[in-house]
Structure formats: structure tokens, C-alpha cells
Amino acid sequence: MSLPTAAHVRQQFLDFFASKGHHIVPSAPLVVKDDPTLLFINSGMAPFKDYFLGNRPAPFKRIADTQKCLRVSGKHNDLEEVGYDTYHHTMFEMLGNWSFGDYFKKDAIAWAWELLTDVFKLEKDRLYVTYFEGDKGDGLGPDAETQALWRQYTTDDRILPGNKKDNFWEMGDTGPCGPCTEIHVDLRTAEERAAKPGHELVNADHPQVVEVWNNVFMEFQRLADKSLIKLPAQSVDTGMGFERLMMAVSGVRSNYDTDVFQPLIQFIAKEVGIEYHGTSPATVNDQPATENEKTDIAIRVLADHIRAIAFTIADGQLPSNVKAGYVIRRILRRAVRYAFSSLNQKQPFLYKLVPVLADQMAGIFPELKAQQAFVTRVIEEEEIAFLKTLETGLRRLDALEEAARANGGVIDGATAFELSDTFGFPLDLTALIAREKGLTVDEAGFQQALAQQKNRSRNAQETEQSDWVTVADAEGPNVFVGYDQDEATARLLRYRK
């Protein structure tokens, strides 16, 4: 069976909303430079925050796009899941359609259903939808309007109430908020579905019954005293995971089995000479039980992490020891360690994936292709630097295992700090390796050791170098000209030859 291509499916989404009067805009860069509350864009809504807050007027009443997102820090952090499960990524695309004070629940629901069932031809009885069950504290009853709208399209056993955590969205402690309706798809086989009804598995972390689309209806404003008032104009904010949509339209059991990831996976498998066996549904979410599962996880981690690493560098964030730069360094080191330990790559490897990814994404995110040589070089240099200490650090961790077991299964904070300081093991990498050994890390102890070191070196470094690195002249005649911001949206990173 040939897989639907990512380019085609993405375009179908954009064309559909263009046909419903939406303006199609490019993705904003992943890296956020002017918002103290956010390091990376983590949802399709984030670049439009100002419109919803009323700080700036929206340039169009209807917008649709695909937005690069990263969920590796802060409020949304899915890093631990990546590679173990088959539907959370570090970097992913969020497809979105927006109404800024224009259409509301009725159209949003009608179009979501039309797109999934008419355009993408998903089987109706595989779809489950949720609505907000209400919240006494906020004096809100169930979102009966949404429930009634769904009844036009599907049956009651597929329309499920959901709690505040899953079905009520708030921008922050104060600000716009409202109920949401989420759409889940059941991709199990007929036998599996006969054995257990899908509605029992919605929001239950089942790898084949996954949430694909969240439609948020912003109708309230949360005030500082926690009360809610009705907004003068109602808005819609939606986010659909593109890689999950690809899994659904391809009829496969894992995001990694789609055209989004297959070119990378096949390249990795060939280069390392280890076959990718695909998803073993019984074991995702768990520690690998067999050698095949172990190498499969590593291959998935590499195929995932290279996207986060390459696109953040292309969007202007180099790996470093502070803030957003350290987030990228951590992801890169996590990937290097998987390549090293599970796929036997003792030399730099990740950088070889950049051309594959750049070619694959050139049509929609040309910023990577435009900087391919530079991004490749940055990654290779990071790999070389980390590989110098990785092996020694891993041996040190092995040697510590016994002491940790004697210590109640805990790697103490001072040791975790030494691994970070001397061998460049970020805390979460030490925690990951510990988890594989059935150990934990004393994270509070680590923070204490870190604080002590910071005190010692406070005077040594008067000024901290900025996080933002301009890559002028990095590729000979190319000159970085920065982001071209206009009223509509942040434009793609541009290079001038």
C-alpha cells in the first residue's frame, strides 16, 4: 500500500479552510524572542496571542495555517514520552483554523466533521467527540450547545463529556478562556474494537485511540478575582496534530509509519544497518522488553529529535548552556546517547539526517533547506563535543549503579551534578538512563549542587552572553537578515544570497 504524502494531506487541510474564507498564513518561527513566558511556540495559537488578548487587531477574521510547535519545556513537556509512545513528538505541526470574533461553535463543528469525513474519508464510527461537562466552582453547566451540535453528525455513544483539564482551555491565570471539544480517532482493528468499545479508551493513553483535534471556543474572560465574564466577541482556536492526522488517513498504527517519518526512519535503519520493526502495540509506553524494541525506540527518538534540533537551529537558536539554547542541547545529547548506546554509533551521526529532512520539508518549511550546510555543521560540532565525554560518563554511571542501589535506588544529587558538570550529561539524560536501570535521581539535590556552583562562579562571569546568536557569514556569502515581521504574522526566516 502506498502511503498518502504529507505534502498532499497538508495541502488538503489548507485548501479546505481557504474554501471556507480563511486566509492562509505561513508558520511563525519556533523560537520566541519577545515573550518572557514562552521559549518556544508550543501551539498554533501562540503566535496569535496578541489578537486574542486584544493588544492588536487581527488582520483577518479567519486564518488557517500549519504551525511548527515544540513541547519540550514549561507547561507542555512531552519529551519523556517521545520514542516510547508513537504519537507524542518534540517538534510537530499543528494545523489550525481561527475565527477572530467571527464564526463560532456551529461552523467550527460542521467544518471539522466535513473535513474529517468528506475530505479525509475517516470512517464515522471511528470518531469520538467530547464536550465540556461543566464546573460548579465556575458556575458553568455542561456545554449543551456543543453536545447538541454534535448530535446532528454522530450518535450519543460517541459524544462524551469531558472534565476541566481536557475540555476547558485558559490562556493563563487571567485572560480569554472557554470550553473545547476534542475529536479522537480509534484506529484499532475490528477484533480489538469488538473486544472493547472505543469510548472507554478516549483520553486513556491508548496508542491507537488518540486525540487528533482540539477546537477551543473562547467565550469568557477570566478576571483577576477568578470570576468569568462573557467576552464581547467570541472566537475559535483549533489545533490538529498533523502527524496524528497522517496516521489516521494512512490507516496505520503509529505516527512513525507515515510519510512524515518514513524517509527518516528508512535512512537511519539503512545507515546503522539495523532494521526498524515498527510498532509493537503491547509494549509502547513501557520499558523495552526485547532488543528489537530497544532499537526501535532509538530509531524513533532519532527521527523525532532531528526535527526539533534542525528546525530550532534554522529558526535562529543555537545550542548553548542557557535557556532555550540549553533545551536544544539537551535534546541533541539525548539523541546522541540513543545513537551511541542503542544503535552503536560511536561517531557523529545525527548531522547526516539534515539533508533528508531538509529535502522532505523544502516545500512547506524552506528555511531548513536554505541553511542546510550551516545547520548540518552546527549539529556535527555539537556531536563531536559531546562524544568526547559521553563514553567516560556512561562508564561512570555504570560504576555508580551499585552505590545507588545501596542508596535506596537513588542517584544522589552531587553525583548527578558531577555527571552534568564534568561529562555534559543534562539532568534529564541522567534521569533517563537511571530510569532504564530502575533507579531515580535526587533532583532537589542536583538543584542544590547547581545553586552552590552558581554562587561560586557568580563573580567570574559578569555578563551572560545573549541567547540570540546571529549567524551572519556562517555560510560564506549568505547574510542573515532576520525575521521579516509584518502585521499579519511573523514571516519565515529569510536568507539573502
Interface residue list for ligand ATP (CB under 6 A): 43, 71, 78, 88-89, 92, 94, 211-214, 239-241, 243-244
> Which one, 239 or 424, has the nearer CB to ligand ATP?
239
Angle at 232 between CA 231 and CA 234, to 5 degrees: 65
SS3 64: strand
Tell me the closest approach of the beta carbon of residue 136 to ligand ATP, in angstroms: 23
Interatomic CA distance for residues 222 and 137, integer angstroms:
13
Binding mask 419-458 for Mg ion (x = CB under 5 A): ----------------------------------------
Tell me the closest approach of the beta carbon of residue 88 to ligand ATP, in angstroms: 4
Interatomic CA distance for residues 492 and 291, integer angstroms:
42
Q: Which of the choices ligand ATP, Mg ion, none does residue 213 contact, using the CB cut-off of 5 to 8 A by kind? A: ligand ATP
> Would you state the torsion angle of the CA atoms of residues 474, 477, 480, 481, taken in this order, to the nearest 10 degrees?
170
Tell me the closest approach of the beta carbon of residue 351 to ligand ATP, in angstroms: 24
Q: Which of the choices ligand ATP, Mg ion, none does residue 89 contact, using the CB cut-off of 5 to 8 A by kind? A: ligand ATP
Tell me the closest approach of the beta carbon of residue 354 to ligand ATP, in angstroms: 21
Interface stretch with Mg ion, choices 145-153, 207-215, 309-317, 346-354 (CB under 5 A): 207-215
Interatomic CA distance for residues 285 and 185, integer angstroms:
19
Q: Do the beta carbons of residue 146 and residue 209 sit within 8 Å? A: no
Backbone angles phi, psi at 96, to 5 degrees: -145, 150
372 is a site residue for Mg ion (CB under 5 A): no
Tell me the closest approach of the beta carbon of residue 79 to ligand ATP, in angstroms: 9
Cell 511556540: give the residue: 41
Q: Which of the choices ligand ATP, Mg ion, none does residue 371 contact, using the CB cut-off of 5 to 8 A by kind? A: none
Tell me the closest approach of the beta carbon of residue 412 to ligand ATP, in angstroms: 32
Tell me the closest approach of the beta carbon of residue 261 to ligand ATP, in angstroms: 12
Residue nearest to Mg ion (CB): 214
> Which one, 71 or 105, has the nearer CB to ligand ATP?
71
> Would you state the torsion angle of the CA atoms of residues 349, 352, 356, 361, taken in this order, to the nearest 10 degrees?
90
Interface stretch with Mg ion, choices 203-211, 247-255, 301-309, 419-427 (CB under 5 A): 203-211
> Which one, 30 or 400, has the nearer CB to ligand ATP?
30
Question: Which amino acid would we find at residue 456?
Answer: R
Q: Which of the choices Mg ion, ligand ATP, none does residue 412 contact, using the CB cut-off of 5 to 8 A by kind? A: none
Q: Which of 423, 358, 364 is nearest to 396 (CA)?
A: 423
> Which one, 240 or 284, has the nearer CB to ligand ATP?
240
DSSP 8-state code for residue 135: B
Q: Do the beta carbons of residue 108 and residue 215 sit within 8 Å? A: yes
Tell me the closest approach of the beta carbon of residue 399 to ligand ATP, in angstroms: 35
Residue nearest to ligand ATP (CB): 241
250 is a site residue for Mg ion (CB under 5 A): no
Cell 478575582: give the residue: 225
Tell me the closest approach of the beta carbon of residue 130 to ligand ATP, in angstroms: 11
Interatomic CA distance for residues 475 and 370, integer angstroms:
10
Q: Which of the choices ligand ATP, Mg ion, none does residue 243 contact, using the CB cut-off of 5 to 8 A by kind? A: ligand ATP
Interatomic CA distance for residues 449 and 410, integer angstroms:
16
Q: Which of 310, 300, 456 is nearest to 374 (CA)?
A: 310
Tell me the closest approach of the beta carbon of residue 469 to Mg ion, in angstroms: 30
Cell of 195: 473486544
Q: Do the beta carbons of residue 484 and residue 26 sit within 8 Å? A: no
> Which one, 94 or 361, has the nearer CB to ligand ATP?
94
SS3 219: strand
Sign, CA torsion 92/124/157/143: positive
> Which one, 214 or 345, has the nearer CB to ligand ATP?
214
Cell of 88: 507524542
Interatomic CA distance for residues 35 and 33, integer angstroms:
6
Tell me the closest approach of the beta carbon of residue 214 to Mg ion, in angstroms: 4
Backbone angles phi, psi at 33, to 5 degrees: -110, -10
255 is a site residue for Mg ion (CB under 5 A): no
> Which one, 13 or 446, has the nearer CB to ligand ATP?
13
> Which one, 68 or 88, has the nearer CB to ligand ATP?
88
Question: Which amino acid would we find at residue 432?
Answer: L
Q: Which of the choices ligand ATP, Mg ion, none does residue 348 contact, using the CB cut-off of 5 to 8 A by kind? A: none
Q: Do the beta carbons of residue 315 and residue 30 sit within 8 Å? A: yes
Please, which of residues 213-242 interact with Mg ion by CB under 5 A?
Answer: 214
> Which one, 203 or 489, has the nearer CB to ligand ATP?
203
> Would you state the torsion angle of the CA atoms of residues 52, 130, 248, 106, taken in this order, to the nearest 10 degrees?
-60
> Which one, 108 or 358, has the nearer CB to Mg ion?
108
> Which one, 69 or 492, has the nearer CB to Mg ion?
69
Query: For 20-154, where are the alpha helices, taking DSSP H only?
Result: 49-53, 105-114, 144-151
> Which one, 190 or 204, has the nearer CB to Mg ion?
204
Cell of 30: 519556533
Tell me the closest approach of the beta carbon of residue 294 to ligand ATP, in angstroms: 22
SS3 148: helix
Cell of 241: 496534530
67 is a site residue for Mg ion (CB under 5 A): no
Binding site for Mg ion (CB under 5 A): 211, 214
